[in-house]
């Protein structure tokens, strides 16, 4: 089973690009810390979302915003413009739980974020907690 789950703050605003066939691909770079003290290390992963779901989530994935993300880990090799080889660590996102607004995201983003993202455990706005069970 290939599932990675981590909590992060977005390192940049999400970006949506389109294939030649018009299909959206949304990406966002995220830091993942490991270790502690002098042994602390930060690795960067690219979170990838395919399709309409990525388009809809992109406005909520803003630099500094916090989220817990689960998905499939993929390591991709590529060739740089100078001919050298590079490696990219990617997570093909399956679930996300947004955890509050990004710093300075403003009231408009807060209003758009009213609906919980898939995988969120938040009750709906009309939840009646006076029911005794």
Label each residue of the chain as H, E or C. Answer: CCCEEEEEECCCCCEEEECCCCCEEEEEEEEEEECCHHHCEEEEEEEEEECHHHHHHHHHCCCCCEEEEEEEEEEEEEECCCCCEEEEEEEEEEEEEECCCCCCCHHHHHHHCCCCCCCCCCCCCCCCCCCCC
The answer to the question of residue 120 being in a domain is no
> CATH number, domain at 21?
2.40.50.140
The answer to the question of residue 35 being in a domain is yes
Q: Based on the structure, what is the number of domains in the chain? A: 1
Q: Model's pTM, two decimal places?
A: 0.70
Q: How confident is the model at residue 104 (pLDDT cuts 50, 70, 90)?
A: low
26-77 pLDDT, tens digit per residue, is: 999 999 988 989 999 999 999 999 999 999 999 999 999 999 999 999 999 9
The answer to the question of residue 131 being in a domain is no
The answer to the question of residue 119 being in a domain is no
pLDDT of residue 102: 54
């Amino acid at each position: 089973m290939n599932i990675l789950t981590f909590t992060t703050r977005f390192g940049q605003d999400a970006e949506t690009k389109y294939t030649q066939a018009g299909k959206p691909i949304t990406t966002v770079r995220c830091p993942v810390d490991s270790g502690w003290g002098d042994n602390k290390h930060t690795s960067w992963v690219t979170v990838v979302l395919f399709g309409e779901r990525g388009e809809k989530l992109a406005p909520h994935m803003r630099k500094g915003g916090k989220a817990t993300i689960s998905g499939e880990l993929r390591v991709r090799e590529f060739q740089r413009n100078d001919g050298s080889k590079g490696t990219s660590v990617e997570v093909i996102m399956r679930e996300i739980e947004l955890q509050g607004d990004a710093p300075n995201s403003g009231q408009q983003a807060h209003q758009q974020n009213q609906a919980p993202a898939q995988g969120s455990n938040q009750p709906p706005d009309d939840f009646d907690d006076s029911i005794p069970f």
